[in-house]
Amino acid sequence: MRNYWGSILINKYAWPQFSEEFPKPDFIWQDHICCSHAKWYQVASDLEGGIPMFDIDVSVGPYEELTDHKINYVVGQMHDGIKWLEKITGRDYDDELLIKAVKNEFRSCHYWAAICELNKAIPAPLDEKSMYSLYVLGTLKKSAQWTADFYEKELYPEVKDRVERGIAAVGNEKCRIMTDTQPPWAFLRIFRYLEQYGCVSVGSLYTFGLIGLWEIKEDGTWGPRSIPEIELTNRDEALRALAEWNLSKPEWQHFYHPQLKSDMMIRIAKEWKLDGVFLHFNRGCEGLSLGIAENRLAIQKAGIPTMPFEGNMGDEREFDLERTMKRVDAFMESIGIEKQNLK
C-alpha cells in the first residue's frame, strides 16, 4: 500500500528501474475482505483525481456458517458490478470468457493445494522460500489459462516427481516447521539460516490457503478441494459458483475468530509432521495477525512448540534480524536440534 501510494505521489513506476511514469488505471475493481483493501484504493482514486471505483464486500462470515442468503448478497454485488463495468468501459461483458475464467480458477486453486499437500512427504520437496516464487502466479492470475496449466501440467508433476525420487528442498532435513502469515519480505534469508539446523519450513497457512482451497477428505485428512463437477451455462451460475468457491478460502476464515486459524494450523502441524510453528507478530498486516496470541496458546495446548517473533512485512525498519536469529537458536536448543557442519 505504501509503495502504491508513494508511486502515485512521485509518479514513478518500478519498470524499468523507476524510469517510467506510474500508469493511471481506467477503473478500480476490488473485493473487500482485508481491513485495508477498499480504503487503499479509495485513496489511490482520490490521488489520481477520482478514478471510477467499484468494491465488493465479501466479509459475510466463516464458510462453516455460509447460507444461501450470504451467497446471494455477494452474487448480487457481482451482477451490479458487471453492469457498472459495461457502463464505465462502454463494452459488452462476455459470459463465455467468465465461465472459462471460473473453471481456470477452480483448477489453479485445486492444484496449488495439491502441490502444497505433497510437502507432507519426508523429505519435503519444496521449502517456503521457494514457494513464494510459485504461489504469486495464482495470487495475481489464478483465472488465467496459463496459470492453471502451469500448476496442473508442469509444477504439480515436477513436485510429485521430486517426492517419488526423494529430492529434498533442504538436503540435510532433520527438522520441520511452518510459519503462519506473510514473512518479513526484506529478510527471507532467515530461511537460509534455518538450513544450518537442517530445518525446512514446509510452508504456512498463508502460502497454503491464500490460493489453495482445501477440504476434509474421507480419511479425515486435509486435501485439495475437489474441482466442482457442475455445468456452467450462464452468468448467474458462474458467479454463484465463483462466490461459493472463494468464500471457502482458508485465509479468509480467520478474520472472524482466532479459533478458526488455530484449528487449521494445528491440523497442518500434525498432518505435515512438524516439529514446531513460527508465529510472526506482523505489524504490517493486522488482519492476518488478529488473534495471534490466542493462536499461540492454542497451538501450545495441542503440544506443538512455538516460536513467536516480531516484525513488519511492509517496513524493514521494524525487523531485528540478529535478535530473530538468536530466537531461532534458543528455539532449536529447546527442541534438541543442533547446528550442522555444512563445510
Amino acid at residue number 178: M
Name the CA radius of gyration of the chain, rounded: 21
* Full residue range of the structural domain in which residue 252 is found: 94-334
Dihedral sign computed on CA atoms, order 266, 271, 273, 278: negative
Reported for 81-87, long-range contacts at CB under 8 A and 24+ positions apart, including other chains, are: 81/29, 81/54, 81/56, 82/235, 84/54, 85/27, 85/29, 85/54
On the question of pLDDT at 35 being above 90, the answer is no
Q: Is residue 175 in a domain?
A: yes
Q: What average pLDDT score do residues 309-314 get? A: 92
Q: Is residue 272 in a domain?
A: yes
Confidence of residue 142 (pLDDT cuts 50, 70, 90): very high
Within 10 angstroms of residue 110's Cβ, the number of other Cβ atoms is 24
Give Cα 176 to chain centroid, integer Å.
20
Nearest alpha carbon to residue 323 among 315, 314, 331, 335: 331
Residue 306 DSSP SS3: strand
Residue-wise pLDDT for 68-123, tens only, equals 999 999 999 999 999 999 999 999 999 999 999 999 999 999 999 999 999 999 99
Backbone angles phi, psi at 311, to 5 degrees: 180, -170
Q: What is the value of pTM for the model shown?
A: 0.95
Out of 8-12, 37-41, 106-110, which region has the weakest mean confidence (pLDDT)?
Answer: 37-41
Q: Is residue 177 in a domain?
A: yes
On the question of pLDDT at 343 being above 70, the answer is no
On the question of pLDDT at 300 being above 90, the answer is yes
Say what the pLDDT of residue 14 is: 78
Say what the pLDDT of residue 165 is: 97
Residue partners of 105: CB distance under 8 A and separation at least 6: 142, 143, 148, 242, 245
Query: How far apart (Å, rounded) are the C-alpha atoms in residues 269 and 266?
Result: 5
Q: Provide the number of structural domains found in the chain.
A: 1
Within the chain, what is the greatest distance between any pair of CA atoms? 65
User: How large a percentage of the chain has pLDDT more than 70?
Assistant: 99
Q: Is residue 16 in a domain?
A: no
How far is the first Cα of the chain from the last one, in angstroms, to the nearest whole number?
A: 42
Confidence of residue 39 (pLDDT cuts 50, 70, 90): confident
Task: Residue 185: give its domain's CATH number.
Answer: 3.40.50.11900
Residue 103 DSSP SS3: helix
On the question of pLDDT at 304 being above 90, the answer is yes
Q: Is residue 129 in a domain?
A: yes
Q: Is residue 70 in a domain?
A: no
Q: Is residue 76 in a domain?
A: no
Residue-wise pLDDT for 167-188, tens only, equals 999 999 999 999 999 999 999 9
Out of 32-41, 139-148, 244-253, which region has the weakest mean confidence (pLDDT)?
Answer: 32-41
Q: Is residue 112 in a domain?
A: yes
